[in-house]
Structure 1
Amino acid sequence: MPLDSKGNPVPPPYTLLYPMDRNDDTGTLADNQRAAILDYQATFVSGPIPGVTNSRGGDEQSQWLADRGWKVVERPADGSPGYSHPLNVGTGVNCWRREAREAGGTSDQNDAIITSVIRYRLFLEEQPAT
């Protein structure tokens, strides 16, 4: 559960982002050892409405959060190359490929919280100095 600036738990809805695996080999013949593949997991957490007794997190709220998470891999509607939303990963580093897959979640409304999970894979490469 995330904490606010005073160390108090933040009530849902929120998104948690976890770093997972890192691999420095792209598995290509042209790999110049300047690349990395990073995996992240985003967990989208719905929850009770603050101040509303007996409210519960729902599929709709969780799905709304996850729908926003898919923007990481969204392509331009006009078919042009690249991604709709830039990903600034650092000076001199290019994210040349992105993947995402839905990895599950929970759906028991008796828990009062519903989650949806997307796992991202980012292919990064250091750009040579010019």
Structure 2
Amino acid sequence: MATPAFEDIAETFDFLDDWEERYRHVIELGKAMPPMDPAVQVPATKVDGCASQVWILPRIEDRRFDFQGDSDALIVRGLIAVLHALYAGVPVDQVGQIDAQAALARLGLDEHLSAQRSNGLRAMIERIRLLAADAG
């Protein structure tokens, strides 16, 4: 159950020949995200378990999940953008049903991230799932 925005990313990745191009694309996705207001970059929105500074602020509208996120690391901002494409607009009660690991494996992210980045990515996914469950 992938969103159209995530499918667009997956299709783009299919056309990129090597990991370096994919890595650059992830960074570009992060750069394209709107910046998060520093006023909401507080302990309550901070994601623990990430080597970088990461913040996720949920927005629930009409029972659909959305969030704003930011990081002090470009690649992590890009990973947040990928997660946003995966989860934004999904009904809150279906967020927990998304197999994020399988979706990210389609992009090859599971093979090319350091252990530290992979742990941070899992922490972000878990935080998103908890935020959606709390909203549900």
Q: Which category of TM-score, normalised to the shorter sequence, fits these structures?
A: under 0.3
Query: TM-score w.r.t. structure 2 length?
Result: 0.26
**When you count helix as a share of all residues, which structure comes out higher?**
2
**Structure whose CA Rg is larger:** 1
Query: TM-score w.r.t. structure 1 length?
Result: 0.27
